[in-house]
């Protein structure tokens, strides 16, 4: 491993960075959940009809990401076997102790919604298959094959209800992750009331972006034609949310700069000396200005579908990098400067090991593999639209 390079003075316990890349990808994955869910709710609750082709998939996406939102934390904990202490003996003054409950609540909510949406499909699969497979689908259907019009009407109502309470829950889940950082008064880089809002906005942005890319890739892989109206609509939403997100990020740093509290000199040094690439170049220039302009052009002008999609998907990819860079800059950046405000340390990302880069890549890949498996069990892209879909 590389030597940790420090400059200036750090408290002797601060040399090591305690929150590693695992804590970077934890809010990243959680953010994808919130974003994907918001997209599905745009259709289910707000009736954005253009998003119909992707409504089901976004819900599945949210579910798959949600399954792995906690995993990076387990890899980071000193005692993962005690992880359930967080729910068994929660401390009610701790922001973190809420996570177990909020997460479980949200998981149940998404699971329920998915179940109602896919129920007709599960039932038909159960009726079609035989043997062990039938048993499996019977289990998924909880042994109930009732698809009468009245029952489906109830399902539709429940889907609407779940999607509606899902929106505040998604906002709560991710705003809460921002609050974990924003409420730490000991760290001037984190402690800002804007933090939860920024986290939420960047979550929505990253969720939309990942859906655009996944949708496009799946369509290409299946040899199907992507619905251009749907993509167009997604680009517009992406642009809109990204404007808000970037404005907030700018406001945060501008306020810090203008107020120039005593910690500003070390934060500005941290940003230039340590995060020059990930903050100044990635987060604030290349990956923000380019998609901002491109998405503006895509949303406001008429152009050929293929050109629009190329620009849109390129922008989405850049935005995914921007959000990842933002998480990195918040989590790692906040630990690079000393609380004595007199020195900087470095974070050396190991490649192998429990908290290494390789593990992080695997953990980010897992939700996508889950999506694939999910699609094997319950095909998401069926041509005929089941009746139950609201």
Residues that bind other proteins (CB under 8 A): 8-16, 18-19, 73, 76-80, 82-99, 108, 112, 115, 119, 141-144, 146, 148, 150-151, 154, 158, 180, 183-187, 334-335, 338-342
Tokens of 298: 């895509």
> Cβ closer to other proteins: 47 or 80?
80
Selection from 262, 280, 278, 368 nearest residue 331 by Cα: 278
Minimum CB–partner distance for residue 175 and other proteins (Å): 14
User: Closest distance between other proteins and the C-beta of residue 137, in Å?
Assistant: 14
Q: Smallest gap, in angstroms, from Cβ of residue 177 to other proteins?
A: 13
Q: Measured from the CB atom, is 98 or 296 closer to other proteins? A: 98
Evaluated on CA atoms 173, 175, 181, 183, the torsion sign reads: negative
User: Facing residues of 218 across strands?
Assistant: none
Q: How far is Cα 251 from Cα 225, in angstroms, rounded to an integer?
A: 40
Q: Give least dist CB 148 to other proteins, A.
A: 7
C-beta separation of 339 from 184 below 8 A: no
Joined together, the tokens standing for residue 87 give: 């729910």
CB of 18 to other proteins, least distance (A): 4
Containing H/E element for 312?
Answer: helix 305-331
3-state DSSP call for residue 8? strand
Whether residue 376 contacts residue 73, with contact meaning beta carbons closer than 8 Å, is answered with no
Phi-psi region of 142 (alpha: psi -120 to 50; beta: other; left: phi over 0): left
Residue holding tokens 């701790």? 94
Which residue matches tokens 């420090």?
6
Q: Which is nearer to other proteins, 85 or 348 (CB)?
A: 85
Residue 59 to residue 116: CA distance in whole angstroms: 11
Whose Cβ is closer to other proteins: residue 49's or residue 82's?
82
d(CA 21, CA 35): 21
d(CA 347, CA 365): 23
d(CA 333, CA 40): 33
Least Å from the CB of residue 16 to other proteins: 8
* Smallest separation (angstroms) from other proteins to the CB of 334: 8
Q: Are 266 and 344 in contact (CB under 8 A)?
A: yes
Minimal distance in Å, beta carbon 10 to other proteins?
A: 8
């Amino acid at each position: 491993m590389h030597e940790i390079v420090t400059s200036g003075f750090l408290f002797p316990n601060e040399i090591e960075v305690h929150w590693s890349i695992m804590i970077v990808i934890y809010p990243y994955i959680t953010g994808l959940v919130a974003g994907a869910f918001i997209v599905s709710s745009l259709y289910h609750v707000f009736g954005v009809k253009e998003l119909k082709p992707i409504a089901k998939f976004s819900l599945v996406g949210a579910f798959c990401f949600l399954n792995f939102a906690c995993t990076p934390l387990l890899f980071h904990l000193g005692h993962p076997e005690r992880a359930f202490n967080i729910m068994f003996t929660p401390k009610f003054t701790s922001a973190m102790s809420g996570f177990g409950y909020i997460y479980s609540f949200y998981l149940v909510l998404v699971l329920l919604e998915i179940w109602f949406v896919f129920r007709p499909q599960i039932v038909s699969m159960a009726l079609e298959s035989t043997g062990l497979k039938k048993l499996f689908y019977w289990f998924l259907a909880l042994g109930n094959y009732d698809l009468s019009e009245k029952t489906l009407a109830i399902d539709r109502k429940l889907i609407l209800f779940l999607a509606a309470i899902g929106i505040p829950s998604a906002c709560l889940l991710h705003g809460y992750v921002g609050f974990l950082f924003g409420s730490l008064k000991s760290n001037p880089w984190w402690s800002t009331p804007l933090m939860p809002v920024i986290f939420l906005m960047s979550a929505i942005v990253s969720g939309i972006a990942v859906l655009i890319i996944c949708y496009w890739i799946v369509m290409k892989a299946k040899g199907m034609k992507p619905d251009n109206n749907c993509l167009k609509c997604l680009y517009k939403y992406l642009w809109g949310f990204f404007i808000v997100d970037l404005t907030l990020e700018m406001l945060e740093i501008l306020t810090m700069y203008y107020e120039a509290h005593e910690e500003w000199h070390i934060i500005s040094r941290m940003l230039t000396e340590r995060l020059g690439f990930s903050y100044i170049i990635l987060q604030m220039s290349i990956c923000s200005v380019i998609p901002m302009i491109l998405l503006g052009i895509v949303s406001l002008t008429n152009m050929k579908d293929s050109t629009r999609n190329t620009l849109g998907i390129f922008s989405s990819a850049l935005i995914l990098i921007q959000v990842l860079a933002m998480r990195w800059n918040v989590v790692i950046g906040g630990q690079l400067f000393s609380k004595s405000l007199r020195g900087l340390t470095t974070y050396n990302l190991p490649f192998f090991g429990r908290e290494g880069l390789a593990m992080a890549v695997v953990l980010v890949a897992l939700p996508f593999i889950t999506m694939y498996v999910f699609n094997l069990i319950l095909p998401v892209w069926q041509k005929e639209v089941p009746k139950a879909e609201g």
